[in-house]
Structure 1
Amino acid sequence: MNKTIKRLALVSTALMALTSVAAAQQTVVWWDFLAGGDGVRMKALIDAFNEEHAGEITIEGTTLEWGTPFYTKLQTSAAIGEGPDIATYHLSRMPLAVDSGTLAEISDEDMASVGLSDDSFTAAAAQAAKVDGTRYGVPFDQHGLILYYNKEMLGEAGMLDEGGMPKGLDGMENFEAALAQFTTDDGKYGLSMPTGDRYRAVYSFFGQQGGTMFDAEAGGFFPTDDDVNKLATATETMKRWVDNGWTPAQIESPAALAQFTSGQAAFFIMGNWEVPTFTDLAAKGELFEWGAVELPVLFDQPAAWSDSHAFVIPANGGKENDPEKRAAVMEVIAWMDKNSLDWAGAGHIPAYNEVRESEGFASMKPQSDYAGFADTAVFDPRTVLAGPAAPLGDAWSNFINPATTGELDPADAAMEMRDDLNSQL
C-alpha cells in the first residue's frame, strides 16, 4: 500500500512538473512586412531565437504585404483583439498608429525588465519611438539615404584618399563640380537616382538647411516663409542637376540601379537597403570596386532622410493583460536588438548602441563608413499624415518630384505642398 501511494505521489509530482513546464512555455505571435533579403535575414533571426529558447518561448511568424495592407490589417485586427503579440513597424508612422489606438504603451518598467532604456539606442530613434512623450515602439535599426560611389572612376579622377574614401565632395560647389566632371557626351552621368525617390534627397537637403517641416503650435507644415523657401531651395538644387544633364530627368528604380552598376554613373543616391544588391554582384565578380558614405554636406549641417524599423505591441482591445506574455514579448524584442549585427548585413544601421559600437560592426563595410548618419538623421515629422503609405508621401510625389523635372516651379511646388498638407490637418 505504501509503495502504491509512493508511486502515485511520484506520478502526480511528474504530471505537475510537466503541467508547470507547459504553462511556462509561451507562443509569441509575430507579424512583419519584411520581404526579399530583409525577410530572409529576419526569418534566420527568428529561427535562431526559437532554437535558443526551445521549451520556453516560440515565435510564430507571419509575413504580410508591405504598406497599406499591413497597416490596415494590423489596425483592424488590434481593434477587435485579434492582432499579433508583436509586430514590426516604421517609427515615422507612429503618430498615426497611436491616433488610431493600434498600439500599446511600452513602459520604462517593460524596458528595464530586459535591460533596455532610451539610452540603449540612438537618440534620434529613441525620440521617434515616442508620441507626446509616451513610448510605443522599440527601435531595431535606422535606414536612410546614403551616397554610393564607383571607386574606380573616383580613383582615376584623384578623388579618393589613402583609405579609398571619397574626398573633396562637401560643399555645393565641390559636389556639383564632381557631377559635372563625370558627366560626359558618351552617355555617362555624374549621378543616378530614381525620379520617384528624389523627395528623400530634397528632404535631406531641407534638413541640411535646418528647416522645420512641421510644428503643430506654430502653424502646421512649413510654419514660416523661411521654411517654405528652404524647401524650394532644396528642390531647386535637384532641378539644377537635372537641367545641367548631370542626372537623368526621368528614370525608374531598376534603370537607375542598372545605370550605376554598369559603370554609367559615378554616384548613386539611394537608401542603404541596396547594399546587399551590390555585395552580391561584387561576390559574383559582376561589379567594379564600390563604396558608400554619408551624404555630402551641401548646406549648413549634416542631415539625411531616415526612418527606423521598430517593434511594437498591438493594443488588442478586449484582451486581458497577461504578464507572462508581456515578459515573453519583451524578451523577444531585447534578444532581437542584442543580436542585430546579422540584420546589419542588409545595410541597416543597428539602433542598439552596443551592437553599433561593437568591433563586429566596425569591421562591416561599407555599413560602418556611413553609420554616422544615425546621429544626424531627419525623420518624418510627428504628425498623423507622415510615414509610409501616408498622405505626406503623396504630397512629395504630387508636388516636389515633378518640380525636380520642371513640371512645376520649385517655389510654387513648395507652397502648394504646404497648403495641401495643412488642409488635411
Structure 2
Amino acid sequence: MSHPLSRRRFLSATGALGAGAFLSACGGGSASPDSEPAGADTPASDTYDGPNVELEFWNGFTGGDGPFMQDLVDTFNSEHDNIAVKMTVMEWADYYSKLPAAVSSGRGPDVGIMHIDSLPTNAARGVIMPLDDVAAALNLQASDFADAVWSAGEYDGQRYGIPLDVHPLGFYYNKTVMEEAGLDPDNPPMDRDSYEAALEQLKSAGIKGHWMSPHPFTGSMTLQSLIWQFGGSLFNDDGTEVTWHEDPGVQALTWMVDAIHNDYSPTDVGQDADAIALQNGQAAFNWNGIWHINSLKEVSGLEWGVAPLPNIGGTQAAWAGSHNFVLTKPRRPDENKLNAARVFVNWVSKQSLAWAEGGQVPARTSVRESEDFQALTEQAAFAEQVEYLHFPPAVPGISDAFADFDQALNEAVLLTKEPAQALEQAAQRAAKKLEENRDKYSG
C-alpha cells in the first residue's frame, strides 16, 4: 500500500487479521450457448486454446499496489489473444459487502482476490469453490510455495486459495535517530536484551524509541507476533479454544505495556502515529507491514532500514497476511472461463516479481528465491521470515473473535486494565463466539 491510511481502511473493514467477510472472486458468468467447452483436462497450465473469453477480475488494491497489478493484467492481455481480463478495483469494505449479492445473482467476477483468513468463512457459506482441480491442472505442489501460506489455504480437507503473496510484519528503524542516540545505525537490535538496552539509551537521549499502538493496526499485529515469540498461541490447533490469555500472552502484552511504564513509548498513541513518528524522527523503531516500504521511499531525506522482527520472546515468529486467488461458485459453470482463469492465475503467480515491487513477498518459492527478488533489498529482508510466519486456524468465523482480542490490547496499552485481566475477559467473550460459530457454520 502506498500510505498507512490505505492499510488502515483495509483493517477497519476486515479486523486485525481481516474479518471473515467476503472478498473473493469467480464467476457468475453462464456458458455461451454457441461455444464448445475446451475441456477441463485439455489446457496446459500456461495455454488456453478455447474460444475468446472475457474474465472479470475483482480486487481491493486501491493503494500503491493497484497500478502494479494493473500492469500485470495489461501485460497478460497483450500476450493472450483469446483471453481478455477486465480488472475492477474498489475499497475492500465495499468489495466485501457487494460480493455476496453479486455472486448469488450470477453477476460476480470470474477471478478475484481474498485475504487468507477469509477463506474458511466463505468456503463454509458456499461462496467460493474448491480449487484442488485447479491446483492439479496447474501442477502446483506444496514445494512451490512457502509452507505456512500453502497450508493456510486449505479448509475441511480441500484447497480454496491459490496464494499470490505474503505480507508480513517487519522491523523498521530510523538510522538518523539511532545515530543521534549513539547507536550503530547499521546494526539494529535483534534480541530482547539488545532491544531493551537500545530503548534505554534512546530514553537517555530524550527519545521515546518504540511507540506502542493500542489499535489493531499495528498494535494487534505486534501483540500476535509477540505471543508466538513467547511460545504461545492465539487458539488451539483446531481453533475451538482461545489460548491468548495463557502465560505467553500475558508476557507478551506485559512487555508492550512495560514500554509505556518505562517511558520508552508515549501513552495513548493515535492511529498511524507510530509510523508517522518514525518518519518524523520522533521514534527510532516501528513494527509495521511490508506495504510501508514504498511509503518510506517517498519521504525525502529519510535514512532508514528494515529487518525481520527482533526476537523478543525467544522464538522467531511474525504476523503475516496473504492475498489468495479464489473462484466463486458460478450459477452456471463455464469450462472455458474456468480454463482461462487457470491460465491467468498461473501466469500472474509466475510473474509475481512485479507484484513484489509493489510491496509484497511472493508466495511462489521460485520467484522469492530468484536473484531479481533478492535485489529488492527491503522486500527480501521481510522474506527472511517466511519459514516462521503465522496465520489463523482455518475455522469459519475465526475473525469474529479478534474484536475481543483487539479490545484487550486497547485496554491494556491504554492502561485501563492489567494485561492478564484484559486478556482473560476477552478470551471468555471470544470463546462464546467460537461456540456460536460452530453452530452457525455446522450445517
Smaller-chain TM-score bracket = 0.7 to 0.9
CA contact (8 A) 2:172 2:287 kept: yes
1:42 Cα offset (Å):
1.3
- Corresponding residue of 1:271: 289
AA of the residue aligned to 1:419: Q
1:275-314 correspondence to structure 2 within 5 Å: 275-281=293-299, 286-314=300-328
1:79 Cα offset (Å):
2.8
1:418 Cα offset (Å):
1.1
Change (3 A) 1:178 1:61: same
Q: Describe the SS at the equivalent of 2:433.
A: coil
Computed over aligned residues only, the root mean square deviation of the Cα atoms, in angstroms, reads: 2.4
1:114 aligns with 2:135: no
CA contact (8 A) 1:116 1:334 kept: no
The partner residue of 1:414 within 405, 409, 423 is 423
1:396 aligns with 2:367: no
AA of the residue aligned to 2:384: G
Aligned-residue identity in percent: 29
The partner residue of 2:117 within 80, 89, 92 is 92
1:128 aligns with 2:152: yes
Deviation per residue, 1:99-139 (Å, 9 max, x gap): 111110001x4224334222211001101111122100001
1:231 aligns with 2:258: no
- What is the alpha-carbon distance in structure 2 between the residues aligned to residue 229 and residue 193 of structure 1? 20
1:264 Cα offset (Å):
1.4
The partner residue of 1:201 within 217, 222, 225 is 222
CA contact (8 A) 1:75 1:100 kept: no
User: Structure 1 regions of 5+ residues with no counterpart?
Assistant: 1-15
CA contact (8 A) 2:58 2:111 kept: yes
User: Structure 2 regions of 5+ residues with no counterpart?
Assistant: 1-33, 39-47, 435-443
CA contact (8 A) 1:242 1:405 kept: no
Change (3 A) 1:23 1:333: closer
- What is the alpha-carbon distance in structure 1 between the residues aligned to residue 261 and residue 198 of structure 2? 16
Deviation per residue, 1:178-207 (Å, 9 max, x gap): 112112564x22113543121111110111
- Corresponding residue of 2:209: 190
- What is the alpha-carbon distance in structure 1 between the residues aligned to residue 334 and residue 275 of structure 2? 48
Q: Scaled by the length of structure 2, what TM-score is found?
A: 0.82
Change (3 A) 1:298 1:279: same
Change (3 A) 1:287 1:73: same
CA contact (8 A) 1:86 1:311 kept: yes
- Corresponding residue of 1:76: 101
1:147-162 correspondence to structure 2 within 5 Å: 147-155=171-179, 159-160=183-184
- Corresponding residue of 2:82: 56
- The structure with the largest alpha-carbon Rg is 1
The partner residue of 2:128 within 83, 103, 118 is 103
1:240-251 correspondence to structure 2 within 5 Å: 240-251=258-269
Q: Describe the SS at the equivalent of 1:89.
A: strand
Q: Describe the SS at the equivalent of 2:112.
A: strand
- What is the alpha-carbon distance in structure 1 between the residues aligned to residue 144 and residue 179 of structure 2? 39
1:363 aligns with 2:375: yes
AA of the residue aligned to 2:214: T
- What is the alpha-carbon distance in structure 2 between the residues aligned to residue 24 and residue 349 of structure 1? 35
AA of the residue aligned to 2:263: G
- Corresponding residue of 2:53: 26
1:39 aligns with 2:66: yes
1:315 aligns with 2:332: no
- The ranges of structure 1 where at least 4 consecutive aligned residues each deviate by more than 6 angstroms after the TM superposition are 20-23
CA contact (8 A) 1:195 1:249 kept: no
CA contact (8 A) 2:213 2:270 kept: yes
1:329 aligns with 2:349: no
- What is the alpha-carbon distance in structure 2 between the residues aligned to residue 219 and residue 96 of structure 1? 15
| Alignment coverage as a number of residue pairs | 387
- What is the alpha-carbon distance in structure 1 between the residues aligned to residue 141 and residue 163 of structure 2? 11
- What is the alpha-carbon distance in structure 1 between the residues aligned to residue 179 and residue 347 of structure 2? 42
Q: Describe the SS at the equivalent of 1:220.
A: coil
Q: Describe the SS at the equivalent of 2:222.
A: helix
Change (3 A) 1:236 1:33: same
- Corresponding residue of 1:181: 201
1:248 Cα offset (Å):
2.1
